[in-house]
Amino acid sequence: MSSGGKTAPRFTIMRACASPDSGLHLGFLAVFALLILASGAGAQEPGLFIDHGVEPIPFRVRDLTLPNALVLGLIPVPPATIGKGKLALEMTYSHANYFQISDNVEGYLAQRGERRSLSGVDAEAILTLEGDAFYIDGEFGLANLVVHYGLGERLDVFAIQPYFLFTGGDLDSVIHNFHDTFGIGQAGRDLVAENHFQILLKHDGNQFVFLDRPSSGGFGDPTVGLRYVLPSKPTGWEIGFEAAVKLPFADETKFLSSGGIDYGLQVALARRWRKNAVVLNVSYVFTGEFKLASGFRPSDLPAINLSYLRRIGSRTTAVVQLMMAGSIFSDVTDSALSEIEFQTTFGVKWELRKGALGLALTENIFNFANTPDIGVHLSYGVIIDEFLQ
């Protein structure tokens, strides 16, 4: 596009995609249902997912901020292993609604005088605004399949395979009505149409635009890693270490990968009492390149996750988690995107005869302009040897 004889900024407008197959959503739910039915209810031997007293296992959910979700995310983990020669399986499905907008973009949209999605003309105009500009509006599901294998009594190897499902915004109207009901500002949601997936980022000459979903979804980059737990428990604290690498096998043009290799380290500490437990995770991710924006070098990602668990029934545990994390934009822009992320997750876990089932909700707190508005999670984990018995 051009205006006034000048060459317009370069950007990519992705073609509209067909609606994601709702059968995929139903398929994930069906797998969970079959496993739960096969598991039944009752006690289980101690292991990575169930332990004596309070289950010291945080919700194994990662940062769902876009586009942070495309780089390595070290999932909160307890300092525990599954035992030599054992195989364990985890499945987690998360669904997040995301809406972030910079002040200059919100001002531009307010001047349009109508509520509609971004057009190519809008994108060109926004890319010419002074300073950094961003607009991220969408909803996506992330299914994580995690496999653990015990190399020794205190050493595990694990692999994580994510699968993304990009949707428009099934929760948009729910969030909009919630904000209206409780007198919470819409922060620009009332300036654009609902049920769209659109992303526009501009910083220091680096920019990319998706005016439609980049794809209906697909497999993301796999992660492989090692986990080691110390044999001693100084002052009652259990201590473990984790190292992982994310390999760029997925297609970055479909928003399934950053296109770079990421490395990460994590330290886990846990202390448990009869009905309570605390788990602290401190991690650091060394990010690689980000091929979606040529020349953009994402910032490394430090994170702290504090989990409090309390037994509220013979087989039921309540969990509250507080997460503080950096952004891939922390060192490259002075805007809401570079602020520290704060998110809280709360939910319940139920011990089954074979495995553990979890249901949780994530909300953003403090800084609302750089994190998902809401995320819901369904999880199931089991040691395969015990599942087959």
Residue-wise pLDDT for 371-380, tens only, equals 677 789 999 9
| Residue 127 CB-half CA count within 13 A | 26
Higher pLDDT, 20 or 167: 167
Going by pLDDT thresholds of 50, 70 and 90, the confidence category of residue 9 is: very low
| Percent of residues, the chain, with pLDDT higher than 90 | 37
pLDDT surpasses 90 at 222: yes
Instruction: Name residue 166's beta-bridge partners.
Output: 140
pLDDT surpasses 50 at 18: no
CA distance 25 to 29: 6
* pLDDT tens digits for range 70-86: 999 999 999 999 889 99
**What pLDDT score was predicted for residue 102?**
82
**What pLDDT score was predicted for residue 387?**
54
| Residue 196 CB-half CA count within 13 A | 20
Phi and psi at 134, nearest 5°, equal -150, 150
Tally of domains in the chain: 1
Tell me, letter by letter, the H, E, C secondary structure of 225-253: EEEEECCCCHHHCEEEEEEEEECCCCCHH
Which of 57-71, 256-270, 272-286 is predicted least confidently?
Answer: 57-71
**pLDDT, mean of residues 219-239:** 90
The domain of 346 spans 2-388
Helices and strands, number each (H, E), in the chain: 5, 17
CB 98 within 8 A of CB 167: no
| CATH, residue 229 | 2.40.160.40
**What pLDDT score was predicted for residue 187?**
55
- When the pLDDT of each residue in the chain is averaged and rounded to a whole number, the result is 79
Going by pLDDT thresholds of 50, 70 and 90, the confidence category of residue 277 is: very high
**What pLDDT score was predicted for residue 54?**
56
Higher pLDDT, 297 or 1: 297
Highest mean pLDDT range out of 178-182, 321-325, 350-354? 321-325
* pLDDT tens digits for range 142-156: 999 999 999 999 999
CB 112 within 8 A of CB 54: no
**pLDDT, mean of residues 254-271:** 94
| Percent of residues, the chain, with pLDDT higher than 70 | 74
CA distance 28 to 30: 5
Tell me how long the chain is. Answer: 389
**What pLDDT score was predicted for residue 135?**
84
Going by pLDDT thresholds of 50, 70 and 90, the confidence category of residue 174 is: low
CA distance 271 to 287: 31
**What pLDDT score was predicted for residue 51?**
46
**pLDDT, mean of residues 29-51:** 47
CB 79 within 8 A of CB 238: yes
CA distance 233 to 314: 26
**What pLDDT score was predicted for residue 189?**
63
53: left (phi over 0), alpha (psi -120 to 50) or beta: left
Phi and psi at 11, nearest 5°, equal -160, 165
pLDDT surpasses 60 at 3: no
**What pLDDT score was predicted for residue 44?**
41
CA distance 327 to 94: 20
Going by pLDDT thresholds of 50, 70 and 90, the confidence category of residue 22 is: very low
**What pLDDT score was predicted for residue 159?**
97
Higher pLDDT, 327 or 22: 327
**What pLDDT score was predicted for residue 13?**
42
CB 216 within 8 A of CB 21: yes
What is the dihedral angle through the alpha carbons of 373, 174, 257, 326, rounded to the nearest 10 degrees? 0
pLDDT surpasses 50 at 8: no
pLDDT surpasses 90 at 53: no
Question: What is the separation, in whole angstroms, between the first and last Cα of the chain?
Answer: 64
Which of 105-114, 171-180, 191-200, 228-237 is predicted least confidently?
Answer: 171-180
Going by pLDDT thresholds of 50, 70 and 90, the confidence category of residue 270 is: very high
**What pLDDT score was predicted for residue 258?**
92
CB 221 within 8 A of CB 247: yes
